Amino acid sequence: MTMVIETQQDLVELTRRIRRHVVQMVYDAKSGHIGGSLSSTDLLSVLYAKHLRHDPGNPSWHERDRFIMSKGHCTPVQYALLAEFGYFPIQELSTFRKIGTRLQGHSVLGKPPGIDNSAGSLGMGLSFGLGLRLAQQLQELDESRVWVLMGDGEQNEGQVWEAAMSAAHHQAEGLVAIVDRNGIQNDDFTKATMNSEPLHEKYEAFGWTVLSDIDGHNLDEIDRAYDWARNQRGAPVCLIFDTIKGKGVSFMEHNPAFHGAPPSDEEFTLAMVELAE
Amino acid sequence: MATAEVHPLAATREAVGPTLIRLQKEGNNLVVVDADLGKSTSARKFRDEFPERFFSFGVAEQNMISAAAGFAAAGHTVFATTFAVFAEHAFDQLRMSVAQPQLNVKLVASHGGVSTGEDGASAQSIEDIGVFSSLPTFTVCTPADVVESEAIIEVATKTPGPFYVRTARPKTPVIYTDGAQFELGRAHMLRDGGDLTIVACGLLVERSLRAAEQLAKEGLEARVLNMSTIRPLDVAALEGAARDTGALVIAEEHLSYAGLGGMSAHALASVEPVPMEFVGVNRYGESGTWSEMLELMDLTPDGIVTAAHKVIDRK
């Protein structure tokens, strides 16, 4: 079953359901990463609904766009989207992080089908996406694109900048880096832990075409940014979205406590009330 | 029976580029990625023939390995080339981007062992086989000569999944003058004997043959096994050698406890434990020629003969 998003209301509803799945999964598993899943829910919902060329009925379709989840701890949002789009039954989300599941805590390539990379150690996804994109170019897959989601904390990793340098060197047009700039990493705010700014200027200096200060929770702005990115030529594109960690649940928003901790029973109840229809 | 008599000299690394060119011409779907050492690894020759399939990643091994995994995920058989010590730079990338998803990346690293001599300890790779053998989905091989090097590159191309292949810098005698006998996962018996077995890999194979000749002059007959596949180890060949000869010397240009020595002892302990001695590296090196380094570390025919005497005394 492939979901059809026809109206703006359909899309808004999708993001609400995804957020509910995310909170439910992490609550059920008693572990997992809510904050960064919620900050990227709108980014990925628009991507999967309107921009990513994919076929849930044929996950290994060779000419598909590849979505690379570099911040591999944010699997809840990707699993929720894959389930909503029919890659596997929604009921399977309840197996997240449990023994025997296909839905491991961090991404495993091919498990379930639709997951196109392994992740968990940060900083590798952009390089992996670059290899994929250069292969697409070699194979003359002109319509295909590679979209890589990274966190802003992840920008601390040196390998990101090796990838940035080489993607520009190889003129990897069609490679789109999406930065979920929510301002919080594992222990604290990014500005306290390791300030990676100014990201826009850094990517630009490395030779990328950059768009920043995009509202990562405005579905229209996200939509326009992806449209723009798909059609850029000559260089890889970096989209830097300003987001809110924990977006959608008031007491999780901008709160470093909800990077990798599950909600309590009371917090879960409150969150689901806030995310109700 | 093979001997170590005077044969033409060639480096195992020299086979890499020409073999990849041939394999691509034969219709394989190769991509070669390089970290600014293509002249030394010989991979750059591939660029001259197939520039569109050769990608330079500069001096950035971590990025190169994850990108190699991306190429593999898109359907290519990817050869990643650098020096053995620099490949270790990308251990986590090999672990998560290659080993766990079992992608079709062949890491072919040159300058393994202490054969980078004069460059000193930082350039001498004495840990690589242990490091990459610790990745459970990797196949790990090291050729004994340039003929076997070509055979291993070809088998790696045709066998899905991650490979580590260690090649070496110096020109060394060709052993397989009549053609390669390489079979993945199988030791090749170069010489038979009943008094002990010398199990060797890489450039120590030729030295083991010379040691066997010395031993023969004393009336001791050594079986010599070329264990060019280190993972998966040919346990049956080890077990047979232990049963038939009752004593083993394991010879390698690598840390003994973390390499063929340690892995062979681990394999035999539960099936056919016999006295074993180890000829290998046990410390970091220093500057000197390759042969000086080998003397310093006792990785010589004489060193192997001494170990043979010790192990026979323990039978």
pLDDT for position A64 = 98
Could you say which of B49, B52, B61, B286 is catalytic? Answer: B61
Number of helical H runs and strand E runs in chain B: 13, 14
- The pLDDT assigned to B118 comes to 86
Of A120, A132, A169, the CB nearest to B73: A132
Full DSSP string of B20-83: HHHHHHTT--EEEEESS-HHHHSTHHHHHH-GGGEEE--S-HHHHHHHHHHHHHTT-EEEEEEE
A134 touching B, CB under 8 A? yes
Burial tier of B69 (Cβ tally within 10 Å: 0-12, 13-18, 19+): buried
Residue A117 contacts B where some CB pair is shorter than 8 Å: yes
Percent of chain B with pLDDT over 70: 98
Band of residue B4 on the pLDDT scale cut at 50, 70, 90: very low
Interface test with A, best of B47, B96, B102, B104 (most A CBs within 10 A): B96
- B162 with B209, same domain: the answer is no
| Residue B211 located in a structural domain | yes
Burial-class residue A138 by CB neighbours within 10 Å (0-12, 13-18, 19+): middle
Q: Give yes or no for a cis peptide into A59 (omega within 30° of 0).
A: no
- Report the number of distinct structural domains present in chain B: 2
Q: Is A140 on the interface with B (CB under 8 A)?
A: no
B2 has pLDDT over 70: no
* A170–B contact, CB cutoff 8 A: yes
Interface contact B50, partner A, CB < 8 A: no
Round to whole Å and give the CA distance between B227 and A89: 48
Where is A150: in which H helix or E strand?
Answer: strand A146-151
Higher model confidence: residue A128 or residue A256? A128
* Residue that has been written with the tokens 């990346």 in this structure: B105
Contacts of B24 in chain A (CB under 8 A): none
User: Which residues constitute the domain of residue B118?
Assistant: 9-173
Name the closest residue on chain A to residue B92, using Cα atoms.
A121
Cβ–Cβ gap B70/A124 under 8 Å? no
Beta bridge partners of B200: B226, B251
**Element spanning B165, H or E:** strand B163-166
Cα–Cα separations (whole angstroms), residue B140 to B75, B153, B192: 22, 12, 25
- B279 and B255 in a common domain: yes
pLDDT of residue B1: 44
Amino acid at position B68, single letter? A
**Whether B20 and B159 share a structural domain:** yes
Contact B70 A128 (CB under 8 A): yes
**A70 — contact with chain B (CB < 8 Å)?**
no
Identify the domain boundary among B118, B143, B173.
B173
User: Is B3 a residue whose pLDDT tops 70?
Assistant: no
Q: Do A118 and B96 touch (CB under 8 A)?
A: yes
For residues B234 and B299, membership in a common domain is answered with yes
User: Model confidence at B302, in pLDDT bands (50, 70, 90)?
Assistant: very high
Q: Do B62 and A162 touch (CB under 8 A)?
A: yes
Q: Do A131 and B73 touch (CB under 8 A)?
A: yes
Residue A125's CB is within 10 A of a number of other CB atoms, namely 31
A82-to-A75, A78, A103, A116, A148 alpha-carbon distances in Å: 10, 6, 11, 12, 16
Query: Which of B143, B173, B203 corresponds to the end of one domain?
Result: B173
Assess whether B193 and B166 both reside in one domain: no
Q: CB–CB of B101 and A109 under 8 A? A: yes
Task: Enumerate the β-bridge partners of residue B82.
Answer: B109
pLDDT (0 to 100) of residue A4: 77
Half-sphere exposure for B76 (CA within 13 Å, toward CB): 29
CB pair distance less than 8 Å for B58 and A166? yes
- B211 shares a domain with B74: no
Q: Tell me which of B150, B173, B196 is where a domain ends.
A: B173
CA distance B130 to B140: 10
CATH number of the structural domain spanning residue B301: 3.40.50.920
Host H or E run for residue B10: strand B9-10
In a domain, B165, yes or no: yes
Taking only the tens place, the pLDDT of each residue in A15-68 is 999 999 999 999 999 999 999 999 999 999 999 999 999 999 999 999 999 999
For residue B101, give the nearest of B141, B153, B66, B129 by alpha carbon: B66
pLDDT at residue B6, rounded to an integer: 56
Q: Are residues B144 and B57 in the same domain?
A: yes
- The mean of the pLDDT values for chain A is 96
- Chain B residues in contact with A135 by the CB 8 A cut-off are 31, 70-71, 73-76
Residue of B nearest to A67 (CA): B70
Is residue B1 in some structural domain? no
CB atoms B66 and A166 under 8 Å: no
Q: Smallest Cβ distance to B70: which of A119, A121, A129?
A: A129
Which among B71, B93, B103 is the nearest to A134, CB-wise? B71
Please answer yes or no on whether B63 and A163 come within 8 Å at the CB atom. Answer: yes
My answer on whether B210 and B149 are in the same domain is no
The amino acid present at A245, given as its one-letter code, is K
Residue B122 lies in a domain: yes
Establish if A132 touches chain B: CB-CB under 8 angstroms. yes
CA distance A68 to A124: 10
Average pLDDT over chain B reads 95
| pLDDT digit string, tens, across residues B8-63 | 899 999 999 999 999 999 999 999 999 999 889 999 999 999 999 999 999 999 99
Name which of A65, A147, A159 to mutate to probe chain B: the one with the most chain B Cβ atoms within 10 A of its Cβ. A159
Q: Which CATH number belongs to the domain containing residue B16 in this structure? A: 3.40.50.970
Q: Are B45 and B179 in contact (CB under 8 A)?
A: no
How much is the average pLDDT of B172-192? 97
How many contacts (CB atoms, under 8 Å) link A and B?
A: 102
Q: What is the pLDDT of residues B214-224, one digit of tens each?
A: 999 999 999 99
pTM value?
A: 0.96
One domain for residues B169 and B305: no
C-alpha torsion sign, points B94, B95, B99, B100: negative
- Examine the pLDDT at B128 and tell me if it is beyond 90: yes
Q: Are B162 and B224 found together in one domain?
A: no
Residue B252 lies in a domain: yes
Establish if B59 touches chain A: CB-CB under 8 angstroms.
no
In angstroms, the separation between the Cα of residue A10 and the nearest Cα of chain B is 33
pLDDT at A60: 96
Residue B150 falls in the annotated catalytic set = no
pLDDT score, position A248? 96
Tokens 């060019």 correspond to B228
Mean pLDDT along residues A203-223:
98
Do B94 and B229 sit in the same domain of this protein? no
Residues on chain B touching A136 (C-beta within 8 angstroms): 74
| ipTM associated with this complex | 0.96
DSSP-derived pairing of the beta strands B139-141 and B229-231: antiparallel
Domains in chain A (CATH in brackets) are 8-276 (3.40.50.970)
Q: Do B96 and A131 touch (CB under 8 A)?
A: no
Are B145 and B203 members of one domain?
Answer: no
- Interchain pair B66, A120: CB under 8 A: no
Helix residue spans in A30-138 (DSSP H): 35-39, 41-46, 75-84, 125-138
User: Which residue of A lies nearest to B33 if distances are taken between CA atoms?
Assistant: A131
pLDDT value of residue A236: 98
Specify the amino acid at residue B170.
Answer: P
What is the pLDDT at residue A2?
58
